[in-house]
Structure 1
C-alpha cells in the first residue's frame, strides 16, 4: 500500500469529505511509536478500561492492518503498553489508534509501529476480557467501521471507506 500524505488526500478528495466517505478525526491524538506515517485496513475494537481483547488482537497477524480501539476516552488507565507495542511490531500491525491512554512511552517509541492515543497514564488496565470486536465504533464524532482504511501522518488522521491513492 502506497503512502498517502493526509493533506494531499484531503485536497484531492473534497467531494468524498463532503459526502462523508472520508472522515477527518479531530486533532486530539498524540503521536507515538517509530512509524510517524502509517496506513492500512481497520480492525475495530470497543473496550472500557480492559485491555485483554487488545492483547488478543495484537497477538494475531496484523498483515498491515491498523487496530482502532475505542476505549471510551477513559483517562483512568492505559490500554496499550510497551509489551503490546512490541507484539504489534512483531506481528505486522501498521499501527494502533487508541481513544484512551497508553503507557511505557519510551518502549512504544522504540517500536516500529505507528501509535496514536489521547494521552499517557501509568496505571495498567483491568483484565476481564470484556468488549466487542469488529463493531462500528464512534470516536470524536466519527463513525468508524471494520474494514475501512485509516491514514495517519503528522498532519492528522483520516478514515476512508475505501483505499485511497493520490
Structure 2
C-alpha cells in the first residue's frame, strides 16, 4: 500500500472512518499542501523550542515533525531557518500546535507546514521538553511512529496497526460518495437513507411560507 497509489486519500475520508482529528486551529499555511508520514513527536513548554532543535538533530528522511506546543501562540516555535533545515533533511513536513513565523518565506517554498497560528516574536531556548515520547497535539494523543495525514481540510492521526483497515474503509467511503454524486447527476436528489432517519429523529419541518 504505497503512498503513490493513495493520491485519492483525504483527511475527510479518514476522519469519517475513525481517524483521530486534531483541533481545527491547526491549518496549512498554504492551500494544497499535503502530508502523509509517521510522526517524530516533540513536546515543548509554551513558546520554547529547544526540544525542537534536539528533534531536528535526530530526524530522518520522511519523518513528519509533530510538535505539542500547548496551543500557545504568543511566540513562534519555528520559522524559515528551522523549516529550511527540516526540508533539507527531506522530512515530510511539520505539524505544530503553536505558532510559526516567516510566513511569506515559508509560503514561497514547497515544504508543508501546518500550524495553529502566527507570531513575529521568537522563542526562548530554556527547555525542557521531550523527543520520541507520546504527546498530545491538537487535543489528540499521538505516539512516536503514528501516522499523520494532513491536507486542506485538517490533520488526522492513526496508529500503524489501524493503517490498513482505515485506508481500506476510506476507499469504500470514496466509492459510496462517488456513487451518490453520480446519482445526483442522474436527478436522484434525495438520499435513500433520509426518510428513515427523519422518522427516527425529532426534526421540526414547518410548512413552506
Closer/same/farther in 2, CA of residues 140 and 60 from structure 1, 3 Å limit: closer
Q: CA deviation at 1:112?
A: 2.4
- The structure, 1 or 2, with the larger RCO (C-alpha pairs under 8 Å, 6+ apart) is 1
1:82 to 80, 83, 95: 80
Structure with the greater alpha carbon radius of gyration: 2
TM-score, normalised by the number of residues in structure 2: 0.69
Aligned to 1:91: 89
Q: CA deviation at 1:10?
A: 3.5
Give 3-state SS (helix, strand or coil) of 2:72's partner.
Answer: coil
TM-score, normalised by the number of residues in structure 1: 0.85
Unaligned stretches of 5+ residues in structure 1: none
User: Bigger shift: 151-160 or 128-137?
Assistant: 128-137
Q: Which structure has greater strand proportion?
A: 1
For 2:82 and 2:149, the matched residues in 1 are separated by 21
1:27 to 21, 24, 29: 24
Q: CA deviation at 1:140?
A: 3.2
- Report runs of 4+ in structure 1 exceeding 4 Å deviation: none
The count of residues paired between Structure 1 and Structure 2 equals 158
Give 3-state SS (helix, strand or coil) of 1:108's partner.
Answer: helix
Q: CA deviation at 1:7?
A: 2.3
For 1:135 and 1:90, the matched residues in 2 are separated by 24
Q: Give yes or no for contact 1:134–1:146 (8 Å, CA) kept in 2.
A: yes
Aligned to 1:161: 159
Aligned to 2:190: none
Superposed CA deviations along residues 77-98 of structure 1, whole A, max 9, x for unmatched, are 0000000111111111111111
Q: CA deviation at 1:142?
A: 1.3
Q: Which structure has greater helix proportion?
A: 2
2:61 to 63, 67, 73: 63
1:54 to 52, 55, 58: 52
Q: CA deviation at 1:137?
A: 1.1
Superposed CA deviations along residues 43-96 of structure 1, whole A, max 9, x for unmatched, are 110101211221232344432111110111112200000001111111111111
